[in-house]
Structure 1
Amino acid sequence: MRLLSSITPMIRARVFQFLFAFAFVSTAQMTLAAEGVNITEKEGKLRIEIGGKFFSEYHFKDVSRPFLYPVLGPGNAGYTRNYPMKQVPGEANDHIHHRSLWYAHGNINGVDFWAEQAHGKTIPGKTVHEKFLEVKSGGDVGVIQSLNKLVAPDGKVIGTDVRTIRILNRKEDRVLDYDVEIKASHGELVLGDTKEGSMAIRVAESMRLTQPKGQPAGKGHIVNSEGVRDGLTWGKRAKWVDYHGPVGEQTLGIAIFDHPSNPRYPTWWHVRDYGLFAANPFGLHDFEGDKQNPTKGNLTVPAGKSVTFKYRFYFHTGDEKAGKVAERHEEYTKSK
């Protein structure tokens, strides 16, 4: 105060003006962060809130691979199936490895990282969380970046990956970017040709096109960027695919966007009428029916190198037209 009393009234007024402006900006930034994307850790999970509303949890401890569950939209409606995380009457209990939203591939150096349970003589590997490289809340975007180990059934680490998930602060929809950098950190990696992969989500049961035997027919639909619809979208190449259907009294949609920088863009799609929805750039011999060339879709990552795949999940209301999926994809293609 003595310092302020010793300077001229004009300078003193400007000092107070600066301090007021600084306090206003700081308060505005804190308010924005509080109303933006907030990520907190608790009991082996990261809880994600957008605008103070629960959106999802990132599960990383004591699991076969990291996954996001639940994924909530308007009115807390769930975009994904609950099983096997939660038993809900009427839900199909098939494919225990279809855990809401996840990334995995069914053949890396011959190891199956897609399945969770042994099948035949095949024992699956595990994607083991090593550490977080960044966990950041923010007014515009929240970030989860993790380092994971690809562990074979014998306990040997054959490679690593870095997963970067960005959750955008959007009021009327939900947008999640999921980037995976697969590193040949422990020697050459061969990402093998199989339909079992890779960037995947299992949609809510009511969004299915078909239902288990004895239940009413499903009312969901699938459409891709090329105008192909429903069951015909399986194994086709497209820039994006949208899966939409009824959830409660509203129609919800999920679109996955393939990024132009990805190898083999536009990708092939392992999308099923029973609810599995996955982008897969590897399963060429399955998708194209080339059974004589089972390694056609192999992708080799030399020792010490890496390959990166980028995807966007766009959770919206309505069908692909109401959600303006094509326009939203164009926006995504302009991102790095």
Structure 2
Amino acid sequence: MHLLKTALLRSLYAALLVSTSVALPTVDASRAAADSPAKSTGLSVKKVESPRGWKIYDNGKLFAGYIEYQNGFPIVYPVIGPGGHAMTRDFPMKKGTEGEKLDHDHHRSLWFTHGEVNGIDFWIDDAHEGTGRIVQTSGEATVDAKNDAVVITTENDWNDAEGKRQLSDSRRTTFHTEDGKRIIDFEVVLRATDGDVNFGDTKEGSFGIRVAGTMKVDSKLGGKITNAEGLTNSDAWAKKSNWVNYSGPVDNQTVGMSVFYHPSSFAAPCSWHVRTYGLFAANPFGHYHFNGGDKTEGITLKDGETMAIRCRVVLYQGDFDAEATEKAFAKYAAEKPEAL
């Protein structure tokens, strides 16, 4: 009897250990990290209240911030490269950074929106009368321990100035590293939840980045734009391409970022609204600004339909390597996206 009781206790204790070890990885990182510092190894995340969102860490060092709402829409700011250099512009969130012009205050680090949605301007910020607002309705951040990544998933409503919803979206932003590079995967599914949605024919969109001021071509410090076809600087503007790279100096160090447009995305390969003054945007909706001729009727997403757009941002230290970038894009393009 005593031996049987001892065996039962050991079995219960072993079961408890197993259940505990399985449960730990499923803890919501946005809750756990809110009360503890970033982990010293791997990718980790911490929930913050001002501005509301999350901070993402790579081996205890800041990688990026995700801000739930910044004057009209969610943004990723800051964006820090693998060498510790800020890869996107600080203005207007912060003023006084070297090489930055105080222009286009709606160009806020890294974001996704569009200039004409049902005739409403979501590209400009909410300081302007009549503009739209993208409002997060729910969100969570988790650590994918298997792939050493931080995954932020959110639901968002696109509302007009009076608060009437025009459509909604689901977003997944994944932060991870590979071969010494920092990578941000952005995926969005646009949902026509409230009737047909028209995405207007305009250059003002859509997956946007404003690079660090010293990186821009116009700073004449060595900044350069290169697309997959080898076109550079102003010649790359408006062209369709699988990817575009923007490189240049930050803190006197050569850095760069490549943006890939996944072939499963709407209208792939897309046109690029990439400028020598530092704007860097993948735009699948624009036509006449890029190609000339009359303005088209745009793209209409019928009531109940969805549209997916997926981009990868690769942040690196050192010189741009076109051959390596093409290989990295091919690997990304071969990945089958998970449902969102």
What range is the shorter-chain TM-score in? 0.7 to 0.9
Q: 1:307 to 1:176 in 2, by over 3 A?
A: same
Query: Are residue 152 (structure 1) and residue 153 (structure 2) matched?
Result: no
Q: 1:253 to 1:58 in 2, by over 3 A?
A: same
Q: 1:187 to 1:52 in 2, by over 3 A?
A: same
Work out which of the residue numbers 130, 134, 140 in structure 2 matches 1:127.
Answer: 134
Aligned to 1:259: 262
Matched residues in 2 for 1:325 and 1:66: separation? 28
Q: 1:322 to 1:110 in 2, by over 3 A?
A: closer
Structure 1 residue 3, shift from structure 2 partner: 4.9
Aligned to 1:113: 122
Q: TM-score, normalised by structure 1?
A: 0.85
Aligned to 1:136: 142
Give the match's secondary structure for 1:135: strand
Unaligned residue ranges in structure 2 (runs of 5+): 27-37
Aligned to 1:230: 233
Amino acid at match of 2:135: V
1:199-231 deviation digits (Å, cap 9, x = unpaired) = 0100001101103xxxxx342000000111111
Matched residues in 1 for 2:150 and 2:257: separation? 20
Aligned to 1:309: 309
Aligned to 1:214: none
Structure 1 residue 50, shift from structure 2 partner: 1.7
Aligned to 2:253: 250
| Native 8 Å contact 2:176 2:182 kept in 1 | yes
Matched residues in 1 for 2:3 and 2:205: separation? 68
Matched residues in 1 for 2:217 and 2:165: separation? 39
Amino acid at match of 1:198: S
| Native 8 Å contact 1:235 1:268 kept in 2 | yes
Matched residues in 1 for 2:242 and 2:47: separation? 34
1:11-65 deviation digits (Å, cap 9, x = unpaired) = x9xx9xx99x989x98xx89xx952221221111201112222111100146410
Matched residues in 1 for 2:3 and 2:48: separation? 48
Q: 1:57 to 1:99 in 2, by over 3 A?
A: same
Matched residues in 1 for 2:278 and 2:226: separation? 13
1:71-93 deviation digits (Å, cap 9, x = unpaired) = 11234210001000001244211
Q: 1:259 to 1:89 in 2, by over 3 A?
A: closer
Matched residues in 1 for 2:3 and 2:203: separation? 73
Unaligned residue ranges in structure 1 (runs of 5+): 212-216
Matched residues in 2 for 1:138 and 1:4: separation? 41
| Native 8 Å contact 1:267 1:280 kept in 2 | yes
Q: Percent identity between the aligned chains?
A: 37
Matched residues in 2 for 1:85 and 1:138: separation? 30
| Native 8 Å contact 2:239 2:272 kept in 1 | yes
Matched residues in 2 for 1:89 and 1:167: separation? 25
Aligned to 1:241: 244
Give the match's secondary structure for 1:232: helix
Aligned to 2:84: 76
Aligned to 2:214: 206
Aligned to 2:58: 50
Structure 1 residue 124, shift from structure 2 partner: 1.3
Q: TM-score, normalised by structure 2?
A: 0.84
Q: 1:269 to 1:62 in 2, by over 3 A?
A: closer
Matched residues in 1 for 2:71 and 2:311: separation? 23
Matched residues in 2 for 1:324 and 1:171: separation? 12
Structure 1 residue 322, shift from structure 2 partner: 7.3
Q: 1:306 to 1:203 in 2, by over 3 A?
A: same
Give the match's secondary structure for 1:206: coil
Structure 1 residue 167, shift from structure 2 partner: 1.1
| Native 8 Å contact 2:69 2:75 kept in 1 | no
Q: 1:118 to 1:58 in 2, by over 3 A?
A: closer
Count of residues paired in the alignment: 311
